[in-house]
Amino acid sequence: MDHDKRLKTYEIMLTHYMKEREERTLYRGQQTGRRMIEQNVSPDEVVSMHIDVLNRLVPDLDGRVRASLDFLLEVMVGYGITYRQHQVLRDRQKQLDSEIEIAAALQQSLLEGSAPSYDYADIGVISEPAKKMSGDFFQFVHSENGCLGVALADIVGKGIPAAMCMSMIKYAMDSLQDNNQAPPVVLTALNRVVHRNVDPGMFITMLYGIYDPENHTFSYSSAGHEPGFYYSAKKDDFEDLEARGFALGFSPKTQYEKYVRKIAPGDMMMLVTDGVTESRTDKGFVGRKMIAGLIREYMNLPAQELVDNVFYELERLQNFKFRDDYTLIAVKF
């Protein structure tokens, strides 16, 4: 609707209301106001239109009333500028929200929905973002010789850049010619990809390991990733699954060390991202000792129920307020 037509419509409604004071006319005015918002008519334009119409309808308007309307118009001019800026920001936010929704859907499609099933291991996994987008990534790698590969990465960053990094890691791993390559070889290859393609200010920590069911060994390497928890059935105690190595992208010349752990029946490992170990309450960090206690409390349950319960307890300790992304992978042998 152009300005002249809008002005005429407003004059008709105001004239009718000044004579009849009908509720129906007020309702029509409200509907007109909504349409003007959709047409991006600013508040100061509405006030100016009202003054123009009122001057024609009441030529001898009281001077004080006229002065008050002029004052209102000046106030609304400033308000209108802010209003337009708000509209622009709102439109940009809507566009950004739409892009985030698309990126989040893409990111979710990269993550495996459930843990794989193996005769020699019971596996459970849960991965929850602090917001719509997650900086955590996990992947299970199935080799032809029956070995199980597991990758867990934490991208330092959130939002769309993290989703792009995640997709890059995903497809870089899928493109490896041999899906049974040793963990140091895999991390070295990924490190070169990340260093060439990711902003220097972003880093990715990652743990990659392979379980060989014939030799009962877990071979793994770490790119600065949070140590996992390893439970020894023989010792009935937890140990840190320690490994050293620079984060992916830190240096193209980084070499990664291979660690090997012998697995016995009844043993278990829990791989985590730092969102788990850096959980905080009002009294401070939860700490690895408390997390190990939570794992022990539920360790007799199937692996998926184990991670679900540990995650719930961590949520509860933080009053269900996420500060970081959470990923837990439990493998029971």
3-class DSSP assignment, residue 40: coil
What is the model's pTM?
0.69
Least confident of 106-110, 183-187, 252-256: 106-110
Write down the CATH number for the domain with range 3-102: 1.10.1240.30
Structure tokens at 128: 């929850």
Query: Tell me: the pLDDT tens digits for 2-11?
Result: 778 888 888 8
CB atoms within 10 A of CB 18: 12
Q: Which CATH superfamily is domain 113-332 in?
A: PPM-type phosphatase domain (3.60.40.10)
State the burial class of residue 320 (Cβ atoms within 10 Å of its Cβ: 0-12, 13-18, 19+). Answer: exposed
**Rounded to an integer, what distance in angstroms lies between the CA atom of residue 61 and that of residue 94?**
44
Which of 97 and 327 is assigned the larger pLDDT? 327
Q: What percent of the chain lies above the pLDDT cut of 70? A: 89
The pLDDT of residue 317 is above 70: yes
**Rounded to an integer, what distance in angstroms lies between the CA atom of residue 154 and that of residue 203?**
9
Q: Which residues of 48-68 are buried (b: 16+ CB within 10 A; e: fewer)?
A: bbbbebbeeeeeeeeeeeeee
The pLDDT of residue 219 is above 70: yes
Within 8 A by CB and 6+ apart from 218, the residues are: 209, 210, 211, 212, 260, 261, 263, 269
The pLDDT of residue 159 is above 70: no
Query: Tell me: the pLDDT tens digits for 107-157?
Result: 666 665 667 888 889 999 998 877 766 678 888 888 777 888 999 998 876
Query: Tell me: the pLDDT tens digits for 297-308?
Result: 999 999 999 999
| Domain boundaries, given as residue ranges, for the chain | 3-102, 113-332
- In this prediction, residues 220-238 reach a mean pLDDT of 93
- In this prediction, residues 205-217 reach a mean pLDDT of 93
Query: Tell me: the pLDDT tens digits for 33-60?
Result: 888 878 878 888 888 888 888 888 888 8
State the burial class of residue 108 (Cβ atoms within 10 Å of its Cβ: 0-12, 13-18, 19+). Answer: middle
The pLDDT of residue 105 is above 80: no
Residue where the block lists tokens 């007799």: 300
Top-confidence range, 140-149, 152-161, 173-182, 184-193: 184-193
